[in-house]
Amino acid sequence: MGEVTGRVGGFSVRVEITSGSITGRIGGMLRGADLDLSINEDSITGRVGGGVVGKDVNLNLTDSGIYGRLGGSVDGQDLRLSGNCSYTGRVGGSTLGFDCHLHWDESAKMMSGRFGGSAMGHDVQLSGEDPLFVALVACLTYYYYKVTGRGSNSGK
C-alpha cells in the first residue's frame, strides 16, 4: 500500500502501510512518536507513542469508514472517519475534540485539508496510496499531539 509522507500542522509524517500494518514515525526525533498498528479484516489495533507516553488504538474497519476508540476507556476519545474523495469525521465528543475535513486528489495521490477550526486548527498535506488510511494517519498524528500537549502552542 506504500508510504505516507508529508505534514500535519508543523509535524512531519513518514509511515509505511502494508496489507497488515501501519508503522513509522510522526514528528521528529525529540518531539515525535512511533506508530505501530496491525490491520486485520475488520479492525485496526496497536499503539501511537511509547509505552509510557502513548495511546492505544482500537478501531473497527467497515465499508463505510473507520470507527472506534483512541486511548483508554476513561481518558480516550472516539474516532469517526468516513468518505470517498472528501473525508470527514470527528475525534472526541461534541464539546471536546476536533473535526476533520480532508480532500483526496486521486491524480496527485495527495490528501489536503484541515483539523479543527480556521483559527485554532492545523493544515494537512500528505501523500500516499490509500486515501482512507492516509486520512487515518493524519487523524492519529493530530490526535497524539493534541492529547500529549505537544501541539497546543505550535501556532501551525
| pLDDT for position 135 | 96
For residue 23, being part of any structural domain is answered with: yes
Please give the grid coordinates belonging to residue 130. Answer: 490509500
- CA 100, 71, 67, 21 torsion-angle sign: positive
Query: Within the chain, which residues score under 70 in pLDDT?
Result: 150-156
| pLDDT for position 141 | 92
Residue written as grid cell 496527485: 108
| pLDDT for position 42 | 96
Segments forming the whole domain that contains residue 18:
2-147
Please give the grid coordinates belonging to residue 106. Answer: 486521486
For residue 153, being part of any structural domain is answered with: no
**Rounded distance between C-alpha atoms, residue 29 and residue 21, angstroms:** 22
Supply the CATH number for residue 123's domain: 2.40.128
For residue 154, being part of any structural domain is answered with: no
108, with CB counted inside 10 A (0-12, 13-18, 19+), is: exposed
Query: What does the pLDDT look like over 90-129, one tens digit per residue?
Result: 998 777 788 999 999 999 999 999 998 777 788 999 999 9
| pLDDT for position 150 | 58
Q: Tell me how crowded residue 64 is: count the other CB atoms within 10 A of its CB.
A: 8
76-89 burial by CB neighbour count: b if 16+ within 10 A, else e? bbebbbbbeeebbb
**Rounded distance between C-alpha atoms, residue 42 and residue 66, angstroms:** 9
For residue 156, being part of any structural domain is answered with: no
Counting the structural domains of the chain, the total is 1
| pLDDT for position 154 | 41
Which residues, at least 6 apart from 3, have a Cβ–Cβ distance to it below 8 Å? 14, 15, 16, 17, 128
For residue 152, being part of any structural domain is answered with: no
For residue 92, being part of any structural domain is answered with: yes
